[in-house]
Structure 1
Amino acid sequence: MSVRDLIPWGRDRSPGVRGGETLDPILSLHRDVNRLFDDFFGGFGVRLPAAGFGGPGWPQTDVAETDREYRVTAELPGLEEKDIDLTFQDGVLTLKGEKKVEHGGEGARYSERYHGRFQRSISLGPDVEEDKVSASFRNGVLTVVLPKSPEAETRVKRIAINGR
């Protein structure tokens, strides 16, 4: 028996699943333990850290800055405009929302899709012209443009760096 025979899947093999039933007992145990922790911590309103979608900092965002504006882009797959609450106060952009539970088809055994409430706050500073902030939502991507005030560039102080 080679070591490769002990690995439940590899580059050329996928996990053993037949009709929603896991054939590999180690993989099945792994999923059951994950589900146990999710159920336990879910009762306290706490989510365990996870990589990618649904993990800390979800939704994933990009923040770009130019001399004239900030541009914040957030990926919100599966949501609609009515599910999103966007505010800007005291230099902080806050994105809140909720992704509703979608029940799987008949016989679904587990779900890896994120659902529930989320909130992200991004500090941008006081140089934003609040009355000119705009947002658009298309294909699950939210884009917020926050123009800077004309005085913002004049308030920047360049600092010389001395080499000794």
Structure 2
Amino acid sequence: MRRDDRDEPFDDLFREIERMMNEMMNGADVDFDSSSAVDSGFGMDTHVDIHETDDEIRVVADLPGVEKDNIDLECDGKTLTISASSDHRQYDERVSLPQRVNEHSASATYNNGVLEVVFESAERSSGISLE
């Protein structure tokens, strides 16, 4: 008995998706037969939440498996850079803050794989009077 193509309306779609995935992976320099994809964090995004109030910006990031001593934080007032490493993963995240912050007011805590960084909002620009 001959199969009717109309019986499987998604066959063409699945073939096209498979073709595109194969094309994409053939150009990638990733060896999926080893653990290198996991070690480098390939395909994993760091979960980061930003909470904003009138007075402060609170950044919460999940960094499971990282020791406190292996976390480096930098801020230029507009971007928070989180660098951290564990035995299985390297984290390098640049978090754009929703408003300028006073980076010198920052406080950070790390507990059970959760990093929390709190900044005071920077003073708003003041008006300039013309003489």
Q: 1:79 aligns with which of 66, 75, 85?
A: 66
Provide Cα deviations, 1:130-163, integer angstroms capped at 9, x if missing partner: 21011111122110001102326x78xxxxxxxx
Q: 1:122 aligns with which of 78, 95, 99?
A: 95
Q: How does 1:11-90 map to 2 (within 5 A)?
A: 37-39=32-34, 42=36, 48-49=42-43, 55=44, 57-58=45-46, 60-90=47-77
C-alpha contact 2:84 2:90 (8 A) present in aligned 1: yes
Give the aligned partner of residue 142 of structure 1. 115
| C-alpha separation in 2, matches of 1:99 and 1:39 | 18
SS in 2 for 1:146: strand
Greater fraction of residues in strand: 2
Q: 1:131 aligns with which of 104, 108, 115?
A: 104
Provide Cα deviations, 1:4-41, integer angstroms capped at 9, x if missing partner: xxxxxxxxxxxxxxxxxxxxxxxxxxxxxxxx61528x
Normalised by the size of structure 1, how large is the TM-score? 0.50
AA matched with 1:146 = F
CA shift for structure 1 position 126: 6.0
| C-alpha separation in 1, matches of 2:67 and 2:40 | 25
Q: 2:84 aligns with which of 92, 97, 100?
A: 97
Q: How does 1:145-156 map to 2 (within 5 A)?
A: 145-151=118-124
CA shift for structure 1 position 116: 2.5
Provide Cα deviations, 1:45-83, integer angstroms capped at 9, x if missing partner: 86542xxxxx1x22x111111111110001122222101
SS in 2 for 1:151: coil
Normalised by the size of structure 2, how large is the TM-score? 0.62
Ranges in structure 2 where 5+ consecutive residues have no aligned partner: 1-30
C-alpha contact 1:75 1:142 (8 A) present in aligned 2: yes
AA matched with 2:91 = F
CA shift for structure 1 position 118: 1.5
**Aligned residues: CA RMSD:** 2.7
Matched-pair identity in %: 33
Ranges in structure 1 where 5+ consecutive residues have no aligned partner: 1-35, 50-54, 101-114, 156-164
